[in-house]
Structure 1
Amino acid sequence: MSGNIKYEYKSVQTMRGLENRSIEKAQNEGGWELVDQAQGTLRTTLNFRRVKPETFLSKAWDAFRGLAPAKQRSLAAAVAVLLVLAAVGIGIAAAHDKGDPKAQNSATKSTGSATVNETPITSPTPTPSPSLTPSEETEPIITAENNKELAALLNLGDNCDPSMAQFAAKYQDQKIEFDGSIENMQKHEKYDTRYDILLGPGDAGPNTGVGPAFKYDNVNMFDLNLTGMNIPSSVSTGAKFRFTAKVGAYNPKQCLFFLTPVSTTVR
């Protein structure tokens, strides 16, 4: 067996400025070691590695590779025979359970013959249940005033906290509303008139230190549905709004909480 250390690798993308949080999370939760990082316009790619844990299968594979070629072929042939015999036994047992007389007779004959007839069994395709869509007219908007979970979420000091994923799963596609500001705004990688916008609760803009890292992904100015007094012709980092948005997915690798804009009210 080789004495070389074996590693497993993974890559994580995070918003620029949030690298330290992602690195600390990977180190604490999985023992990952940062190898290198590549900074893009809006995102940073972090490459990690850690010592690959040995399993029974990996040890067995190393032992197999250490055998002479002739012994490898012999062992592989023996394993193949065992797999065929196991498949025959499973097929016979299934036929007996179903009470198929033809299959039982075939099983009886197979004891004196090396030929096995296998008939594939097609599972019935399940009929999908119809999805129910709640009426948007009667759906309440979740705010920090009427929902304790959102109130707690907006005041968390770690945007990688596991409660982010729990909230996203529980309130998927429901509307939330909160006072916030734009932390970061960059043109989308492919389009000059579309943007990736990072939002945070409160009025601190790029200095926001609490709550989730909310993100509008690949949106234009029309998607924001700006309302209120003195509507600006454009928005920028630091601008303060009352955001109404639908809850999207939470990405634990990037520590990003995705939202879909519904309306954006000038404050």
Structure 2
Amino acid sequence: MNTTIAMGCALVDGQDFIYESVKVVRGFESRTVSKKESLGWELVSQTPASMGRVELRFRKKKQRISKKSMIIAGSVLGCLALIIGVGAVLEDSTDDEPAGESLSGTEAPSASVPSLVEQRAEEKAPDRSLSEMKEAETSVRALTVDSDKRVAELMATTQDCGPLVAQFAKDYRGKIIKFDAAVWALNKHDDYHTRYDILVSYGGFTEEGISGPNFQFRDVSPTLDLHFGAEDVPDSIGVGDELTITAEVKEFEEESCLFLLEPVATSFR
């Protein structure tokens, strides 16, 4: 299921609301509404969308910060600033003393205390940087039908179990490929209830002009292991969903004619 979120803020009857639009596969509306309502959202409207999906629009009251909370927060920051200032003065006084001596027998602090803004920036920066670096690296490494001749030949072949497919899997093992695909089958892996074997094929969900191997993601969680973007994580996926897949080439099983892939990134088309 493709989930697209849009948010905004408006004043209604003296209350601030934030709005969120969610696109879900038709038939999963009630599940999504129940989940959102449990988080405090209110369903505003429900309208048909493209490709068998429904757009649900929710709203929720925007939390306000009371004056009392603002005063307390200001007092805390003021105390922190005072402590930092005193620490700086003590450090300057210590610098004027002879080597090996310190004020009142204690050592001066070795570094100033970072501000709350600096601390929060340091906490958030690594995750964002790593995510951006990984995305950029994947984009550069991914081979497509436009950038690689053999990838184009693979997707164009009608012999999904022929020597061309087997040789490609052997030569390109460990490399990253990117292509448009559609989900053709989704079966539970062994006796698991949340892990699946997902069969995908190059192109759209149509019987006309099907080509390329029988690609499979084996033993995966559809909502976790396919690595959807943060704003595109679905509650579920199903047969007929059309995706853009970035994956690592694993191996080709000649006996089952399945071309195994390891998912790297997935998005809905």
TM norm structure 1: 0.46
TM norm structure 2: 0.46
